[in-house]
Amino acid sequence: MSKVTFIGGGSFGTALAIQLAKKNNCVNIFDRDIEVCNDINIRKRNSKYLKELEIPENIKAYNNLDKAIHDAEYIVLAVPSHVIRDVTRLLKGKISEDTIIISIAKGIEQGTNKRLSEVISEEIPKNPVVILSGPSHAEEVAIEIPTTLVSTSTNMKYAEKVQELFMTPNLRIYTNEDIIGVEIGGAVKNIIALAAGVGDGVGYGDNTKAALMTRGMKEISRVGIALGGKEETFFGLTGMGDLIVTCTSMHSRNRKAGILIGKGFSLDDALKEVGMIVEGVKACKAFHELNSKIGVSMPITDGLYDVLFNEKCPKEVVRELMLREKKNETH
Burial of 29 (0-12, 13-18, 19+ CB in 10 A): buried
43 confidence band (pLDDT: 50, 70, 90): very high
pLDDT higher than 90, residue 51: no
pLDDT higher than 90, residue 219: yes
Give pTM, 2 decimals: 0.95
Rounded Cα–Cα distance for residues 73 and 27 (Å): 11
Contact assessment for residue 307 and residue 264, using Cβ atoms and an 8 Å cutoff: no
Q: What was the pLDDT predicted at 186?
A: 96
Rounded Cα–Cα distance for residues 106 and 134 (Å): 10
Q: What was the pLDDT predicted at 80?
A: 94
Rounded Cα–Cα distance for residues 236 and 226 (Å): 18
Residues tagged active-site: 189
213 confidence band (pLDDT: 50, 70, 90): very high
* Extended beta strands in the chain, E state: 3-7, 26-30, 59-62, 74-77, 100-103, 129-133, 147-153, 171-175
Q: What was the pLDDT predicted at 52?
A: 79
pLDDT higher than 90, residue 2: yes
| Chain segment 111-155, per-residue pLDDT in tens | 899 999 999 999 999 999 999 999 999 999 999 999 999 999 999
Q: At what angle do helices 267-274 and 253-262 cross, to 10 degrees?
A: 140
Q: What was the pLDDT predicted at 292?
A: 86
Q: At what angle do helices 179-202 and 279-294 cross, to 10 degrees?
A: 120
Rounded Cα–Cα distance for residues 271 and 283 (Å): 15
pLDDT higher than 90, residue 227: yes
pLDDT higher than 90, residue 304: yes
